[in-house]
Structure 1
Amino acid sequence: MRDLSALLKNCGEAYFSPDLFRRNLNQFLQTSRTVTFIIQKNKGEIRDYENWYSVNVLKPWAADEIMTWAKDARNVVEKEGDLEMHSTLSPSVIYSHFSEEDFVITVNRPMLLRADVSMIAKMVKTLLPPGIADAAVLCIRRRWVANTLPKHELIWALTYIYASLYRVCNDLSRHLGGGMDPSVPNPTHLDPDMNDVSRTRYIKLGKPHVHSMASHVIRRDEDFVPPARLLSLRNELQRQSKPTNIEETVELIARMAEANFLEYGNHVPMTFLYNDQWDIIDNLTTSFADQSDKFLYARYVASRASYLRAFAVVSVGEAWIRDLKSGPDQPIRNMKIIGERLTVVGAAIDESSKSIEWNIVRPDDKGAPTLERIGQATEQQTPFFIQPIVEAMQNARLPKS
């Protein structure tokens, strides 16, 4: 797995060198197959091997489009030579949380390569209502695609393969009573968006400059001592049973969110991804500069949720409540703020969902803000801003024809 992680990193570094990218891709596919070969070779040392292998490898991968492609592509590389693939460089416009609403625009290559920001932004603004255009983003991305896997960008597909094998090895380690070797990188540390592999660039139409997206790993501060309020809550929650559904999970996170807000007077945006055993498999935080950032962040989390094959998502954060009466001609940032809320929202791949909200009350004397809980009912519909994440989780688990 360490070798495979190095090859995945090499593929990213060679993304703009076609011949080198091809060689690293071929080697990655060949090496990926050796992971299961080694497991099979040592099956005599694995307790209840036949059942474990069926549950963790055969059944999950049987209808998995990408893992099936990986096996077939390796055979092509070994017996026939290189895979047929091609790259594209195209601009698309993002103006919502949903990728299916994006649209591609026609821009000549010299303009694209010059990154003539003001000219491109001016052209795109004519295609959308003013209020929507203000938060829209022009995305310029290069994509390598294999002819036999046309719906998926190749680096993302390789990350998915690595994450699938990592999950198998981690499950095997726990099955044998051990743990995953920490020298093997977690898939999220090799995330192609995190490492800017494709050098995707974004032009916010409301602020026409070229932007890129970056993320960083934040290590836990081992010397941190929680305040008494949080320490008491942690000890209480540790005595409780682990949640087994989205309602229980949202209730648990809500208790933590409320305690954190009352302790510090605010709550940074946080997102938690869960597996089907209700273990946290990923957690992220961010800082939004504007509405555009919210569109991009939702897509980024959806990408991670997909290759991690997450089962559920919970989002925590503060939100302004705005007066929408002015309609689509008014940028959302200029709409009147009529309230503030702290929200905890969760949803699972079966589209069960739950939200808990509080009004944030700020005293006139500038004292510490307080919370008034206003919602506890199970939602009938998944909230729109996490729907793309739920759809990504569903697509990663549904059989592909």
Structure 2
Amino acid sequence: MGNWTKRLRDCSIHLDNAINNYLEPDLFRINFNNFMQTARTVTFLIQKEKNILQQRFDFDSWYQSYQTRWKTDSIMKWAVDTRNIIEKQADIPIYSKLEVKLALGYRSEEDVNLEIQQDDLVFLGIKGLRNWAKKNLDQYNYKDSAIWIGRSWKEPKLANMDLVSAMQYVYARLYECCMDLNRITSEKNNFTIKTPDEILCEFNITHTYQYIELTNFQTISLKTKSYKNEISFNDKKILENRVCQGGKLSAELKVEFERIFDQFNHISTKQELLDIHSDLNLLNFQCEGSILHFISFFDENFKCIKYIPYILPNQLAKYIFWRNIGAFVKVLRPKYIICSDEYYVRSAPQAREYWRNTMIQGEYLSTRLLSKIHDDEFELLGIRYGIQNEKLLKPINKEITTLLLDINANNEAFMYVPILKEL
């Protein structure tokens, strides 16, 4: 493994740290500087091995092609100049812009913009912003609402590009170069290095903003865990340790699970995708008496590209969770979305009435598939089973529904609005 690969990993770590501290001005500045300085040394280490590499292939011609492209690339040229300024002079003149809103529901379009003095807040981290909100925004203590605080970092020479996007662009060019060199020299990595797309995806989804709950002025952290890919359904070992209402799975239940698992390799339609997840959810509920709430994204070949189980303790958490799922959709661009949950069907609310204050008409174990049909038109396929007190209603009745949704989901699927706007 070449030294350039190790240094590229260092770049990914500094970029990760900058992203994770995007809302903390000092820490973001430190990691930005570290990234820019480390990125420049990746090519130094490649050139250091020039004589050895030239003996294995035509290194001069290969490296010249990258140098030619980078010299005419305005962002790569900016990166070189920035590194020289940071190393020999001082920090470059980056600046931050803040936006503060009152978040009231599922639709971000309904948020209320709050006028603030930028100079008072621009250098505050999350703790300082919380203290500021507690002192200045307590008059906005509406029911089930939160303060949304968003930040962006800019540099005058980069026009409208965010600094993290510029860093990711530099990392992408270095990544391409290093992986190409590893391919030519048959070098193998001893560790995993994040791809540029993975880094940009993580940045766009969750790191540029924060919600502060108005009841206690704490930042909101949802109980979610995200996986890149769904569980491997070919692994029979998961059935050996699987419990069922406190005991082991019976032979009959194992056979049923294996039947469902085998079908995951042969999905060819969206209806099959929905059916198999519905069958699995029903079987899990029968085994455990509860449901695992999750949302999964699938590509056009029915391959799972993201799997997110979650727990939402209150109404405000629901608002923010589905907003964040909308951000995932914007970046990952799934073709199909599967939602597994337990929900109430309620009567339609009167004017200015909360949905949760209306009459409950039924409780269901639900599996839904959401996909886009045309511009601003969506299909919601659903399979549900009636439940009461964590038990299936007898006789077990499989209900199949199809809903056509507009961009505002003007029916019981209103919580999917943040998703529809990004599909």
Task: Mark yes or no: TM-score above 0.5.
Answer: yes
TM-score (norm 2): 0.62
Q: 2:419 aligned with 1:389, yes or no?
A: yes
Q: 1:344 aligns with which of 355, 359, 367?
A: 367
Aligned residue number for residue 224 of structure 1 = 241
Per-residue CA deviation, residues 218-254 of structure 1 (Å, 9 max, x unaligned), is 8989673363536523334414653344333222212
Say if 1:94 and 1:102, in contact at 8 Å, map to a contact too.
yes
Separation in structure 1 between the aligned mates of residue 383 and residue 42 of structure 2, nearest angstrom: 45
C-alpha contact (below 8 Å) 1:4/1:28 kept by paired residues: yes
Q: Deviations over 1:3-33 (max 9, x none)?
A: 4431222313554225424324535876999
SS for the counterpart of 2:302 is coil
CA distance in 2, matches of 1:88, 1:235: 54
Does the C-alpha gap of structure 1 residues 11 and 347 become closer, same or farther in structure 2, counting only changes over 3 Å? same
Separation of aligned partners in 1, 2:173 and 2:113: 31
Paired amino acid for 1:341: Y
CA offsets, 1:130-164, max 9 Å, x none? xxx42222122333245687877655786799899
Contact persistence 2:225–2:309 (CA under 8 A): no
Take 2:169 and 2:419, find their aligned partners in 1: how far apart are those partners? 16
Describe the superposition over 1:357-384 as per-residue Cα deviations: whole angstroms up to 9, x where unpaired.
4252338xx9655553322336454754
2:19 paired with 1:12 = yes
**Partners in 2 of 1:267 and 1:188 — Cα distance?**
32
Partner of 1:23: 33
Counterpart of 1:78 (choices 74, 77, 80) is 80
Contact kept? 2:340, 2:367, Cα under 8 Å:
yes
Measured on the aligned residues, the alpha-carbon RMSD in Å equals 4.8
Task: Tell me the secondary structure at the aligned position of residue 299 of structure 1.
Answer: helix
1:209 paired to 2:217: yes
Q: How many residues align structurally?
A: 341
5 Å-filtered alignment, 1:163-312, equals 183-184=192-193, 187=198, 191=202, 200-204=210-214, 207-213=215-221, 217=225, 224-225=241-242, 227=249, 228-229=252-253, 232-239=256-263, 241-312=265-336
Secondary structure of 2:316 counterpart: helix
C-alpha separation between the residues in 2 aligned to 1:390 and 1:242?
28
- State the Cα deviation string for residues 255-289 of structure 1 (Å, max 9, x = none): 21222223222213201012333211211111112
1:399 counterpart residue number:
none
Kindly name which structure, 1 or 2, has the bigger radius of gyration based on alpha carbons: 2
Secondary structure at the aligned position of 1:143 is classed as: strand
Question: Aligned pair in 2 of structure 1 residues 335, 240: CA closer, same or farther (>3 Å)?
Answer: closer
Please list every run of 5 or more consecutive structure 1 residues that lacks an aligned counterpart in the other structure.
35-40, 46-70, 126-132, 174-178, 395-401
**Structure 1 SS opposite 2:384:** strand
Give the drift of 1:105: 0.8
**Partner of residue 382 from structure 2, selected from 356, 362, 365:** 356
Indicate yes or no: 2:315 matched with 1:315.
no
Of 147, 151, 176, which residue of structure 2 is paired with 1:138?
A: 147
Q: In the alignment, which residue of structure 1 is the partner of 2:397? A: 372
Find the residue that maps to 2:351 and give its secondary structure. coil
Note the alpha carbon deviations across 1:41-74, whole angstroms, 9 max, x for none: 9xxx9xxxxxxxxxxxxxxxxxxxxxxxxx7523
CA contact under 8 A between 1:349 and 1:391: conserved in structure 2? no
- Residue 156 and residue 386 in structure 1: after superposition, are their counterparts in 2 closer, same or farther (change >3 A)? farther
TM-score norm. by structure 1 comes to 0.65
Whether contact under 8 Å (1:117, 1:210) holds in the other structure is no
Partner of 1:117: 134
Identity of aligned residues (%): 15
